[in-house]
Amino acid sequence: MEFTAIRAQGPGGQHVNKVSSAVQLRFDVRQSNLPENIQTRLLSSHDNRLTKDGVMIIKAQRYRSAKLNREEALARLREWVLISTHQPKARKKTKPTRGSQLRRLDSKTRHGQKKNLRGKIGD
């Protein structure tokens, strides 16, 4: 984990060009001591902040102090890791019931008959 102080974006006053209050957090997922299954889940996530090398880059610039921005970056990293620890349930394959199949076919035939009735009337 590596913190870097950078200049914040957006408008500012006289003091804005002198301070670097925004914080950039670089977290290398592959070098971390997280369990292997969590690492693979983190690396497989399609997040724009994740580089090809497996480094997560979080930029925090909400607050005017670097200390609060650092805490916010850590909180966002913690949240990202916590979300990835949740393993989704495996989907069970199911078949449609016989009744639902019959209802579907019945509605299709009724719809086709309705369209036939809209045709031209012959002799």
Rounded CA-CA distance 28/30 in Å is: 6
Q: Which residues does 23 contact at the CB level (< 8 Å), separation at least 6?
A: 3, 4, 5, 6, 59, 60, 61, 66, 69, 70, 72, 73
Does the predicted model carry a pTM greater than 0.75? Answer: no
| pLDDT at 109 (0 to 100) | 97
- Tell me which residues of the chain have a pLDDT lower than 70: 10-17, 123
| pLDDT at 3 (0 to 100) | 85
Residue 29 CB neighbours (<10 A): 21
Identity (one letter) of the amino acid at 42?
L
Rounded CA-CA distance 55/49 in Å is: 8
103 alpha carbon, distance to own chain's centre: 38
Identity (one letter) of the amino acid at 36?
E
CATH node for 2-85: 3.30.160.20
Rounded CA-CA distance 54/35 in Å is: 15
| pLDDT at 64 (0 to 100) | 82
- Please, what is the Cα angle at 52 between 48 and 54, to 5 degrees? 90
